[in-house]
């Protein structure tokens, strides 16, 4: 096994909600064998407070995350790029060393309206969808690693 973990870059347009939910979840279930980062094509400059809140509910702290531009990773080897919204998929460049690309679009919870509780319900639903998808992805990658080690 190589000394460094392969980097998975999760891209979204604003890098304020979905990509941070996915980064936090994937890091929690696969951080032992994957380097997980996120960025945006047009970063919002902040991580949405409701994204932080719904992640705390599942004991994942993303309060230290920052909104970053995808160009920050342009000179770094990125093994896999996963886009979680349509616009990022269209804007996505090829990164050095990139071998895989996945596009798994999720609804943007930042557009939720209503009371805070109604907005939180949307954030929780999207978090749970992202959790199912990225946990399955991590399980597949873990199985792949076990097969390679045999």
Tell me the pLDDT tens digit for each residue of 45-67: 999 999 999 999 999 999 999 99
pLDDT tens sequence across 111-139: 999 999 999 999 999 999 999 999 999 99
Lowest mean pLDDT among 9-23, 29-43, 74-88: 74-88
DSSP for the chain reads --SSPPEEEEEESSSSSHHHHHHHHHHHHHTTT-EEEEEESS--SS--HHHHHHHHTTT---TT----BGGGGTTS--SEEEE-SHHHHHHPPPPTT--EEEE-----GGG--SSHHHHHHHHHHHHHHHHHHHHHHHHHHHHHHHHHH-
Average pLDDT over residues 30-58: 96
Q: Residues with catalytic annotation?
A: 12, 85, 92
Cβ proximity of 55 and 126 under 8 Å: no
Residue 1 reports pLDDT greater than 50: no
Average pLDDT, rounded, for the chain? 90
Average pLDDT over residues 99-113: 91
Q: Tell if the pTM clears 0.85, that is, is over it.
A: yes
Per-residue pLDDT, 92: 57
Domains in the chain and their CATH numbers? Answer: 7-149 (3.40.50.2300)
Per-residue pLDDT, 75: 83
């Amino acid at each position: 096994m190589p000394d460094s973990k392969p980097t998975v870059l999760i891209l979204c347009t604003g890098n304020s909600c979905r990509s941070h939910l996915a980064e936090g979840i994937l890091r929690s279930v696969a951080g032992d064998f994957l380097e997980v980062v996120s960025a945006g094509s047009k970063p919002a400059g902040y991580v949405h407070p409701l994204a932080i809140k719904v992640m705390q509910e599942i004991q994942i702290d993303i309060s230290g995350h920052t909104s970053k531009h995808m160009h920050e990773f342009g000179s770094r080897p990125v093994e896999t790029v996963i886009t979680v919204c349509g616009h990022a998929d269209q804007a996505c460049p090829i990164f050095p060393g990139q071998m895989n690309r996945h596009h798994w679009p999720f609804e943007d919870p930042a557009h939720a309206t209503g009371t805070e509780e109604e907005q939180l319900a949307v954030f929780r639903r999207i978090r749970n969808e992202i959790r199912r998808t990225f946990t399955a992805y991590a399980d597949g990658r873990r199985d792949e690693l076990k097969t390679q080690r045999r």
